[in-house]
Amino acid sequence: MKTQLEIEIEKMMSGQLYDANYNDQLLPLLEATSEKCWEYNHLLRPSQVAEREALLRGLLGKTGKRFKINQPFYCDYGFNIEIGEDFFANFNLVILDEAKVKIGDHVYIAPNCGLYTAGHPLDVDRRNAGMEYSLPITVGNNVWMGAGVHVMPGVTIGDNTVIGAGSIVVHDIPAGVLAVGNPCRPMRKIH
């Protein structure tokens, strides 16, 4: 028999509406992750490479052998984030990982980027009641995101793609393209 926490996490990760703001099962998980992010961003010096890596390995669901995430870094749960080999994220990465966020190998993310799996209903009553949904994000191998890129719920970005600075990615982006804009769209193929 599933626990109430398992039921709430299952709802959260399956795209169903769930109570994100007042749920006694999920709020302690959010608080624990916030504490780890605070420790990472405020207590660990940049020179404490081994300690920073150990904290992130304990926080994230899966990591490659080699990765670097510059401080500050923020996420909601951590356990829903999977990063591949040779992952690099520059300053101020935000990942709202209510659903799975899978990031491939050799992915580089510039400063001030966000990956957001969470969304809210358009209906004001449900939104004010704290309801939320989440859809997974997948980023392929060899992807580079320029500064200020924001990836919305449910998006997949294909392998070998570059997302230009300032882009808002609301739809899937195919492999092997340069994509830019708001909304982000492929501009041309790249090798």
Active centre residues (catalytic): 120
Instruction: Give the 3-state secondary structure of residue 60.
Output: coil
Q: How far apart are CA 18 and CA 15, in angstroms?
A: 9
Longest dimension (CA), the chain: 51
Residue 184's CB is within 10 A of a number of other CB atoms, namely: 23
98, 20 Cβ separation under 8 angstroms: yes
Region class of 7: left (phi > 0), else alpha (psi between -120 and 50), else beta: alpha
How far is the CA of 101 from the CAs of 70, 75, 79, 152, in angstroms? 18, 11, 9, 11
Which of 167, 121, 161 lies closest to 140, judged by CA?
A: 161
Give exposure, 155-166, as e/b (b: 16+ Cβ within 10 Å): bbbbebbbbbee
